[in-house]
């Protein structure tokens, strides 16, 4: 599969626990994006990387959220001390630089905080 892969597909965690998600982009794509999508809403931008550099973080991203892309390939998104409001679908997308022809999204990780 040469698309964008995300792992896990589903995660149920107790409030206060830490969780980490992984995204493997399309190999030739320099850009990697994280979005969050709640029910009935469009994807909300969280952060993005060009190669290993994190270029922008949304104000939506509290200090409990951290993302890395250490070698410019896969990325991880960690949420510390999860809250019920963190429950959402976390989508990863990748693109060539400048977002030509839009993004290719992964299938997402659905997080449920109980």
Partner 1 sequence: GENVEQHPSTLSVQEGDSAVIKCTYSDSASNYFPWYKQELGKRPQLIIDIRSNVGEKKDQRIAVTLNKTAKHFSLHITETQPEDSAVYFCAASNMNRDDKIIFGKGTRLHILP
Q: Which residues bind partner 1 (CB under 8 A)?
A: 33, 35, 40-45, 48, 56, 91, 97-108
Rounded Cα gap, residues 61 and 102, in angstroms: 23
Closest contact distance (angstroms) between CB of 21 and partner 1 is 15
Distances (CA, A) of 24 to 11, 42, 51, 110: 17, 22, 12, 16
Measured from the CB atom, the residue of 14 and 39 that comes closer to partner 1 is 39
Rounded Cα gap, residues 94 and 97, in angstroms: 9
Distances (CA, A) of 103 to 1, 3, 86: 17, 11, 24
Closest contact distance (angstroms) between CB of 28 and partner 1 is 17
Measured from the CB atom, the residue of 35 and 82 that comes closer to partner 1 is 35
Measured from the CB atom, the residue of 21 and 35 that comes closer to partner 1 is 35
Angle at 78 (CA atoms; ends 93, 110), nearest 5 degrees: 60
Asked if 70 and 83 touch (Cβ cutoff 8 Å), the reply is no
Measured from the CB atom, the residue of 21 and 48 that comes closer to partner 1 is 48
Closest contact distance (angstroms) between CB of 18 and partner 1 is 25
Closest contact distance (angstroms) between CB of 81 and partner 1 is 26
């Amino acid at each position: 599969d040469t698309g964008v892969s995300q792992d896990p597909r589903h995660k149920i965690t107790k409030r206060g626990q830490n969780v980490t998600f992984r995204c493997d982009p399309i190999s030739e794509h320099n850009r990697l994006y994280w979005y969050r999508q709640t029910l009935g809403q469009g994807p909300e931008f969280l952060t993005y990387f060009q190669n290993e550099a994190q270029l922008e973080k949304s104000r939506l991203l509290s200090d409990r959220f951290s993302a890395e892309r250490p070698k410019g390939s896969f990325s991880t998104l960690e949420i510390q001390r999860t809250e019920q409001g963190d429950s959402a679908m976390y989508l990863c997308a990748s693109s060539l630089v400048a977002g030509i022809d839009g993004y290719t999204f992964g299938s997402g990780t659905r997080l449920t905080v109980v």
